[in-house]
Each structure stands twice: as structure tokens, then as C-alpha cells.
A and B are shown apart, each in its own frame.
Chain A
Amino acid sequence: MTRVPPMSKPTNLVLLIDDEPKIRRFLRAGFELHGGFTVQEAEDAAEGLQAATFNAPDLIILDLALPDRRGNEVLDLIRSWSNVPIIVLSVEANEEEKVRLLEAGADDYVVKPFGIAELIARSHAALRRYFKSANENPVVVAGPLSIDLVNRTVLLNNVQIKLTRKQYRLLHVLATHLGLVVTHDQLLDDIWSASVRKNIQYLRILVRDLRQIIEPDPNHPRLLITESGVGYRLQARLEDITLA
């Protein structure tokens, strides 16, 4: 976690919008010490919107409970003119709320309380996706998997594997959001044509089948992770599982 993946800029500017000084303090320390970021703080929505407008941050960490404005309004406002990656902090662990935020344009969410490692990993994933177009590296590496988005080939431990069209499509969408959660609805929209009735069963079965192929142990997935009630996430490297 302390290693910083290469970015397109030497240091990225992160804007922290949170009204709790103690939270901002540890976020600042974490981002500066472990993420190699330059940090700017804002203590309410007004200040945050101003900083987002004038200072062009590379990443915004947005707390949903702000004193002067609802966090999701701030999200909508920023999204109306900018694609800057936004990660939302919330004490609400409710699935519908998470899906709503993701659909409103948040890149990811982290539920309080959380460890800084988790937030920095999500931040890097969001930045990676944001700078992807500039980077133009068509090969996404996720643990033992490497997915060539241009040639549509997938290598597992350097051996090419065969996937059905829909399995590839699923992997492709997740790979373009590497490390980030993708909602069920987005996956259903991207994989199935509009004429097919959306059915989460299709997705569950497709995921189960894909896991049989790409996961070292399909019963305990470490690459294609379920975010319950929300969607799926493709991990950049095999997730550590201490149990089972």
C-alpha cells in the first residue's frame, strides 16, 4: 500500500471536503505519507465547491454529511461540469444509498469507519481510470489476469483462455473500472442488449461461470469480488484472505 503506482503527474492534488477536523487531519496525514498526494482541505460544501472550481483537484474525497448542503447535491453540482474522480465517505451503509451515489456519478464509496489503506487503494483505482485515456495502455493487469482491451484477449498466468462473448464483455467492463465497484444495473446495461429484460439472475450466473475460469478457487473469489446489494469489483491484485 505504501508503494505509489506511477501516475501521469508527479503529485496529485486531493481535495478533502469534510466538516470534521479530526477526520481531515488523519486523511491529510494518510494521503501525504502513504499516497504521495498534495492535500487541500475544505470544511463545508461552499468552500469545497469553490476549491473544486478554482484549484482543479485530481481527486475529491467528499463527506456526505456536510453542515451547509447535502453531500449528494455537492456531488451533482460538481458532476454537472467535471469528471474529476470523486470518492464519497458516508456513515450510511445502506445498499440503495450506495447504488444511488454511484449512479449519480461517484466513482466509489467508503463507509465510515474505514482504514486509510482502503481509501488510498480506491483513490489510486479512481485516478488510474481517470488518467486511462491519457495513458493509452490497452492491457489491464489484475493479479494473474491480463486483459488486452484492444485485441480482446485474456491471459491467465500467461496462458490465453477462452471466454464466451458475454463473459469477455463482463470482464472488459470490470477491467475498465479496475479496483472500482460497478453496479448491477450498469453491468446489465453494458452486457445485454436493451431488448433483453434485465434480470439479475443472468448476471449472477454469468459471474459464477466466469469465476470458474479465472479464480484460483471459485468458491472463495479473490479477483472478482461481490459488493453485496451493489455490484461487482475486479481487484487489481489477488485479495488477501486471511480465513478459509
Chain B
Amino acid sequence: MPFGSEGKLWKLSWPSPRLAQASVALATSDAPPDNASRWQRQLVMNALPLAMSLLLVGIATIGLLLISPLSPANLAPVVYLIPVMVAAARWGTWPAIVAAIASAAAADFFFYPPFYSFRLDDSQSVINLLVFLLVALISGDLTSRLRREMETLRRREDELQYLYGFSRRLAFCHTVTDLTGAIQDYLSETFGQHIAFFLPASVTASQPVIGCAAPAIIRDTATSMMEPGGAPSRTIKQEAGKGLWLLRSVVSGEATHGVIAVDIGGEPRAAIGERTRRFEAILTEASQTLQRLDIGGAMQEASHRSKDQLLRDAFHGDLSHELRSPLAAIRGSASVLEAMPSIRDENRAFPLVSTITNEAERLDSFIGNLLNATRVSASDLRPHLSCADPRDIVNAAIRRRARQLAAHDVKVGFDDDLPMVNVDSALAEEACGQLLENAAKYSPPGSAISVAVSAEGGHVILSISDSGAGITAEERAQLGRRSFRGARHRDVVPGAGLGFWIASTFVEANNGSIDIVSEGQGRGTTASIILPEARIDEDDAGSADE
């Protein structure tokens, strides 16, 4: 599955208009006992700004009355603009309109003749008042719009701040748990504790939900959304006034990484639309950030890794113990029999006991190979590089593969004055052993396998040459792939095709490389392991020798 730069990684999709309708439907379907208090609260919320606007108009009127000698009729329109603007700036359009109308009425009543009456005598006053009303309404509207813009900007800034913090935190995420934890923390910072993150069961079987205790219905819905073909988004309203849950799938390409559920609350009515909008805005931003950070790929990788981890843990722990314990009993028992004089001298029994020993050893080396393969696939190689003698590496590799090499004539040649190499000896030995085993497998019994060790330009080269099947150009291109085995050998040579793959990974872990040269089919192969020379401080070396 393509990831990374190919785009369209993260899509958090939801149908906004339908959602808004659902929110309204929920608000009206609330139970009666709640209604009374709700109405009261609504009334207070809506009426208070209006009352405050009127109060401001009253204050302006009193101010004008106090300075009445200075022809307030001329001042009135200007002074009354103040409460209108303040109401618009603080409480929005409706309080501003109310303030404008009340101002016009008050001006008419107090400051335009005839005083203390709403009647107007001359047309000039009528025009004055109408112009004032018009100006007040327009400037009130403009001011309240400005206020909304500013609010949006401020909210936007907050969200950007969050997103910035979020993206910084994402940069430190290495596992699925980190990632979901970051998303969840971020959202719960915005929405309080009412948020849950559901992961597909295959990733963390024992822990399908992170976050608050979501009701069963939410969990069930989330599970159904994660199934193939599940809906990308759902809205679930709980019974009377308990809240409204929005559920969104987190998808990249074909894979569903999880479902985010947020309880945006059942009230007040106006807040539902607002919170829904916020949630969606935040998730849109989040998904863009995620896409930029290629979290889709990272999550996929983390999920693969955790599966490999399970396999590896199983193998390294119980499985290898369970497999090796019976083998140890078989191998050990056979070795006791083998050493008994009565068996040793019995021509028919002895070969049978030897077979048991050999086959038990073969099984053990196969288990060892599987262990190595799980280490490689779990990317769990932590080489301990240190100074080692290349001769030790080759000798140990040959000794370990003595059984597999028994049918071949192995010749080893070391150059004089070989330098030390800087490697993890265990990994280097295993890589060398794998190549020796391959050489033995793919060349006829009785033929020679020669190992030559030489130094060249800061490297030590271990070359293993056989006179066997050789490698065709086509096979060469596929070398290094896990489980690759040449088609022409599949039926004749036993094995799982893991050898070269393990060898090349182990050598790379040692900062080395493998070079394969073959004259072609049937003309033998030379595999060379190139390892970095250990840098030896000549002064230090002197103190070793004295």
C-alpha cells in the first residue's frame, strides 16, 4: 500500500449539514422538566444584553440632560452613537438595533421639540432622526460584524496554537499508543474528558478503547465502523439530555486506523452547533497536520511492528523454550547412548543414534534460523560492535556449520597480518555461517568450498567460493528478498530461503556489505562479506605487546 508523498493519506470525512439538523432535532426533543430551567437560562442569556443596551441608552440620556444648556439637540445624535457602538461591540447585532431604536425614541422624547413628547413638529427634526437611525444601524451592524471577525480570529489563533503544540507532540510519537494518546490528549483539552479513541482489535487486542468510559452503544458503533465497509461517520444521540456523540473514522488509503468519538454535550442548543463546528474544524486541521506528518504511514508501520513484536515475543519467549526443551532431551539422551560402549560397538544401533543426534541438531539450527528471522523482521538488531579477529569469526562459523559442511572439502586461507574488524562477532559469525551453508547446499557433495580472508583499503573481505549451481542474472536481481529461492532449486534443495536474507541483514547491521559474483549457471558462486576494519591506535597496540 502506497504511503508518504502520494497524498490523500488522511481523510476525516463527515456530512456537516445533516449533522447540524440532528443537533437541532436533539435540542427540541428534550424532556419537559429540563425545559423550564432551560428557558430561564435562555431568557437570561438573550435578555441581559438587551437590558444592558437600554441601560446604556439611559445613561447617555441622563448625560445629555445634565448638559442641556449646550443645545443637546445638536449633540444628541453623536452621543447616542456611543451606546449603539458599545452594544454592537459587546453583545452583537440585536442589542445594537435595540439601542439604536431606543436612542432615536429618547432623542425624540427629550431633545427635539416639542420636548417630552414623541411628536415632531418640523420636517428637519424628522430627517435628523431618520439619518441618525440609519447611521446607528449601519455602524452598529459593521461593529458587530467586526466583533464576530475578531472572535473568529481569536478562536482561529487558539486552534492554531493547539495544532502547533499538537504537531510538535506528534513529532515525538513512535508507536500507535503514542499517536492515539497525542490525538486524544489534544481533543480532550478542547472538549473536556468526553472523548474516546477506538483502535481496531487487531492492533491492540487487549485494549480496544483508550480514553473515557464510553457507553456500550458508542463502543458497538465504533466497532462496526471499523469493520470493512463501515460508515465513515456516525452521530448518536443518547437518551434525554445525556449528550450527543460524534464518531469519525480515521482512515488512510484502505486502512481504518481507528475511530474518534466525542461527546459534544446535549445543551444548550446554540452550543451544539458551535461545538460540532469546532470539532470538525479541529479534526480537519488535525487531519491536514497528520497528512503532512505522514502519520498514516507511521501508524501502519507501527501496527505492522506491533504484530511482528507479538510474533517475536512469542518466539523468543515461550515458543523457543517449548521447542528447545524437548530437543534438549532428545539430543542429550542420544549423546548418552552414543557414548555407551555397548551401543558404540553395535554396528546397527550406532548409526541410528547418530541420526537422532544429527537430526536434533538440524532441527535446532532451523529453530535458530527462525529466531534470527524474527529478529530481522522485527528490526530488533542492536549490534554490539567491538574489535574482533576475522579468523575467529570464520573458524567459529565453520565449526558451527560442521555438520552441514561435512560432505564438502572446505579450504580456508588467511592472508598474513590481517587487521582486526569492528563488528558484532555473533552476527558476523551467523552471516558467514549462512553463506557457508548456502555454498554447501548449492554445490555437489565432495566439491570444494574455499574461504579466503584478505584485507583491502580499510576493509576485511571474507570470500566464500563454491563450484556449484551458480547464480543467473535473474536470480541475482531477486537475492536479498525474504524467502527468495531460485526456482530451479526449489524441488531439490531443502530450506526456507531465509539464509541470504538473514546474512545480508546481519552484515548490514555491522556496517558491512555482501557482494555476490557468479560466472553464471553451473559455474560456481563467490559470496564476499566486506567488514569494516577496526581502527587501532598504534600507541595503544604497543601497550598490549609491551
Q: Are A201 and B332 in contact (CB under 8 A)?
A: no
**In the complex the two chains form, what is the Cα distance from A33 to B332 in whole Å?**
13
Residue of A with least CB distance to B453? A219
Partner-A contacts on B (CB < 8 A): 320-321, 324-333, 335-336, 338-341, 357, 360-361, 364, 368, 384, 386-389, 391-393, 395-396, 398-399, 402, 405-406, 410-412, 414, 420, 424-426, 429, 534, 536, 540-541, 543-546
User: Could you say which residues of chain A place their CB within 8 Å of the CB of B405?
Assistant: 243
Residue of A with least CB distance to B421? A204
Asked if A189 is an interface residue, CB under 8 A from chain B, the answer is no
**Given A113-B328, A244-B411, A244-B412, A229-B426 contact (CB < 8 Å):** yes
User: Could you say which residues of chain B place their CB within 8 Å of the CB of A204?
Assistant: 387-389, 420
**Given A204-B420, A205-B544, A220-B336 contact (CB < 8 Å):** no
User: Could you say which residues of chain A place their CB within 8 Å of the CB of B340?
Assistant: 33
User: Could you say which residues of chain A place their CB within 8 Å of the CB of B424?
Assistant: 229
Chain B nearest CB: distance from A21 CB in Å?
Answer: 9
Chain A nearest CB: distance from B378 CB in Å?
Answer: 15
Contact of B325 among A33, A91, A244 (CB under 8 A): A91
**Given A200-B387, A201-B536, A29-B541 contact (CB < 8 Å):** no
Contact of B327 among A113, A205, A244 (CB under 8 A): A113
User: Could you say which residues of chain A place their CB within 8 Å of the CB of B341?
Assistant: 2
Contact of A113 among B330, B398, B412 (CB under 8 A): B330
**In the complex the two chains form, what is the Cα distance from A164 to B544 in whole Å?**
10
**In the complex the two chains form, what is the Cα distance from A244 to B413 in whole Å?**
9
Asked if A199 is an interface residue, CB under 8 A from chain B, the answer is yes
The 4 closest A-B pairs by CB, nearest first: A115-B335, A113-B331, A202-B544, A112-B328
Q: Are A226 and B396 in contact (CB under 8 A)?
A: yes
Q: Are A202 and B420 in contact (CB under 8 A)?
A: no
User: Could you say which residues of chain A place their CB within 8 Å of the CB of B338?
Assistant: 115
**Given A91-B328, A112-B328, A243-B410, A228-B392 contact (CB < 8 Å):** yes
Chain B contact residues, majority secondary structure: helix
Q: How many A-B residue pairs have CB under 8 A?
A: 143
**Given A229-B425, A244-B398, A114-B331 contact (CB < 8 Å):** yes
Number of interface residues of A (CB under 8 A): 49
Asked if A173 is an interface residue, CB under 8 A from chain B, the answer is no
Residue of B with least CB distance to A232? B392
Q: Pull 17 A–B residue pairs with CB atoms less than 8 Å apart, ordered by A.
A: A1-B339, A20-B329, A30-B332, A91-B320, A112-B325, A112-B328, A114-B335, A165-B546, A192-B543, A201-B387, A201-B544, A206-B544, A220-B395, A229-B424, A241-B399, A243-B398, A243-B399
Partner-B contacts on A (CB < 8 A): 1-2, 20, 22-23, 25-27, 29-30, 33-34, 65, 91, 93, 95-96, 112-117, 164-166, 192, 196, 199-209, 219-221, 226, 228-229, 241-244
User: Could you say which residues of chain A place their CB within 8 Å of the CB of B399?
Assistant: 241, 243
**In the complex the two chains form, what is the Cα distance from A115 to B403 in whole Å?**
14
Q: Are A208 and B389 in contact (CB under 8 A)?
A: yes
Q: Are A33 and B336 in contact (CB under 8 A)?
A: yes
User: Could you say which residues of chain A place their CB within 8 Å of the CB of B420?
Assistant: 201, 204-205
Chain B nearest CB: distance from A110 CB in Å?
Answer: 10
Q: Are B541 and A116 in contact (CB under 8 A)?
A: no
User: Could you say which residues of chain A place their CB within 8 Å of the CB of B330?
Assistant: 113
**In the complex the two chains form, what is the Cα distance from A187 to B544 in whole Å?**
13
User: Could you say which residues of chain B place their CB within 8 Å of the CB of A33?
Assistant: 336, 339-340
Residue of A with least CB distance to B413? A219
Q: Are B357 and A115 in contact (CB under 8 A)?
A: yes
Contact of A209 among B333, B360, B384, B545 (CB under 8 A): B545
Chain A nearest CB: distance from B314 CB in Å?
Answer: 15
Q: Are B332 and A114 in contact (CB under 8 A)?
A: yes
Residue of A with least CB distance to B316? A92
**Given A116-B335, A203-B544, A228-B396, A219-B328 contact (CB < 8 Å):** no
Q: Are B546 and A26 in contact (CB under 8 A)?
A: no
User: Could you say which residues of chain B place their CB within 8 Å of the CB of A207?
Assistant: 389
Residue of A with least CB distance to B426? A229
**In the complex the two chains form, what is the Cα distance from A196 to B546 in whole Å?**
13
**In the complex the two chains form, what is the Cα distance from A29 to B332 in whole Å?**
10
Q: Are A201 and B540 in contact (CB under 8 A)?
A: yes
Q: Are A115 and B332 in contact (CB under 8 A)?
A: yes
Contact of B391 among A23, A25, A219 (CB under 8 A): A219
Residue of A with least CB distance to B391? A219
**In the complex the two chains form, what is the Cα distance from A242 to B424 in whole Å?**
26
Residue of B with least CB distance to A227? B396
Q: Are A91 and B398 in contact (CB under 8 A)?
A: no
With A27-B332, A202-B543 given, can you name 13 additional A-B contacts, CB distance below 8 Å? A2-B339, A20-B328, A23-B325, A25-B329, A25-B333, A29-B333, A65-B321, A91-B324, A112-B325, A113-B331, A203-B544, A207-B389, A208-B389
**In the complex the two chains form, what is the Cα distance from A20 to B473 in whole Å?**
51
**In the complex the two chains form, what is the Cα distance from A29 to B337 in whole Å?**
9
User: Could you say which residues of chain B place their CB within 8 Å of the CB of A23?
Assistant: 325, 328-329, 332
**Given A30-B332, A116-B335, A243-B387 contact (CB < 8 Å):** no
